[in-house]
Amino acid sequence: MQKIQHTSNLYYTKPQVELAEKLCSLTGFKKVFFSNSGAEANEGAIKIARKYSFDKYGKNRYNILTLNNSFHGRTITTLKATGQDVFHNYFFPFTEGFEYADANDISQTLDILKNSDNSFCAVMVEIVQGEGGVIPLEKDYLEELYKYCEQNDILFMVDEVQTGIGRTGSILASEHFDIKPDIITLAKGLGGGLPIGAVLTNSKTEAVLSYSDHGTTYGGNPVACAGASVVLDKVSNSLDEINKKSAYIIDKLEQIKENTQEIKSVSGMGLMLGIELSTKQAPDVLKECLEEGLIILSAKTKVRMLPPLNISYQEIDDGLSILESVLKK
Ligand SMILES: *Cc1c(COP(=O)(O)O)cnc(C)c1O
């Protein structure tokens, strides 16, 4: 912080370059654009997708397919990219060119792409729908959709703003599958609390944007990048531990299920877990947990857990015993 807090975005800084190199070597991507937030990263991805297609096919191939129940941000364009009607209110007119498919319904999803007159430039998905109810995409669905996109030169973009950087037990959630996304977006976990986002591009997409096509004043701020560099070092050395903690929590939830009869099912990956309740309502459970000192989230009708990746076993035990006592009431 005392060395350099900001430069004009005409210049690179060392922390930016170091972080970009680390991200590329950990993930296999080629280039990185740094932003300030997840929504700004997704805006960048959308711009790359549209320009990629414009450069190659001309004007009318601009549509982007996202999934129902997705969440991609709160700017006018990323609200529209979000496949939930409740987000498409008040702020009209929204950006054109988004259509929505049902997650895990491959024939419905491919039908939309096939019946589109070749108007789609990209598909954007979350590997685990976070806000949408902690719903992981099925392996077959994801891999088949990816394959169709690859064969038809439709860019495959994965919004890893919530799932990225260790959250699901690997650096990227997409690593769990046999897919090679063209663009990945990151944010939340990357900064460890500092504002930063990133767009990662591969050999197909790295050269789409050139000088002056896109930019940001504070994106890639040296302090945020230096912090993110430390986060990346720590997380990449903690993946085994994250997976162990995930298994430990799922095991304990299984016991709580037997003790309370209040847990119907557990979904998610790594330290991103959703609990479907039997009779209680998630908002009531959240409120009672908070009163006992446990912060827990909801997603649709589920209780959602996204504990810090460095949570201790003692803290897991303490938190889950509060959850169990609330579910027993
Ligand atoms: C939080 C989130 C965003 C938006 O990120 P912001 O930093 O709040 O703009 C986008 N996509 C997903 C999947 C998210 O979870």
Is the C-beta atom of 87 inside 6 A of ligand 1? no
Mean pLDDT of 216-245: 97
Q: Is the peptide bond before 308 cis (omega within 30 degrees of 0)?
A: no
Mean pLDDT of 6-21: 95
Confidence band of 120 (pLDDT split at 50, 70, 90): very high
Q: Which atom of ligand 1 is nearest to 42's Cα? A: 10
28 CA from centroid of ligand 1 (Å): 23
81: Cα separation from own chain's centroid: 13
pLDDT tens, position by position, 247-265: 999 999 999 999 999 999 9
57 CA from centroid of ligand 1 (Å): 30
Q: Specify the 3-state DSSP secondary structure of 273.
A: strand
Residue 76 has pLDDT above 90, yes or no: yes
Handedness of CA 220, 226, 227, 233 (dihedral sign): positive
Query: Which of 71, 78, 124, 183, when mutated, tests ligand 1's pocket best, judged by the most ligand atoms within 8 Å of its CB?
Result: 71
328 CA from centroid of ligand 1 (Å): 33
Confidence band of 107 (pLDDT split at 50, 70, 90): very high
Query: Which of 69, 172, 188, when mutated, tests ligand 1's pocket best, judged by the most ligand atoms within 8 Å of its CB?
Result: 188
Mean pLDDT of 284-312: 96
Is the C-beta atom of 71 inside 6 A of ligand 1? yes
Is the C-beta atom of 220 inside 6 A of ligand 1? no
- Partners of 298 in the β-ladder: 303
103 CA from centroid of ligand 1 (Å): 18
325 CA from centroid of ligand 1 (Å): 32
CB 143 within 8 A of CB 177: yes
List the residue whose alpha carbon is closest to atom 8 of ligand 1: 38
Q: Report pLDDT for 141.
A: 98
The H or E element spanning position 265 is: strand 263-269
Residue 230 has pLDDT above 90, yes or no: yes
Confidence band of 74 (pLDDT split at 50, 70, 90): very high
Alpha-carbon separation of residue 98 from 38, 80, 214, 224 (angstroms): 18, 7, 21, 32
Q: Report pLDDT for 91.
A: 98
- Partners of 197 in the β-ladder: 35
Q: Report pLDDT for 9.
A: 87
Q: Report pLDDT for 177.
A: 97
Q: Spell out the residues 6+ positions from residue 75 whose beta carbon is closer than 8 angstroms to its own.
A: 39, 40, 43
Q: Spell out the residues 6+ positions from residue 99 whose beta carbon is closer than 8 angstroms to its own.
A: 63, 64, 65, 66, 112, 116
159 CA from centroid of ligand 1 (Å): 8
Is the C-beta atom of 187 inside 6 A of ligand 1? yes
Residue 83 has pLDDT above 90, yes or no: yes
pLDDT tens, position by position, 132-156: 899 999 999 999 999 999 999 999 9
List the residue whose alpha carbon is closest to atom 11 of ligand 1: 72
67 CA from centroid of ligand 1 (Å): 15
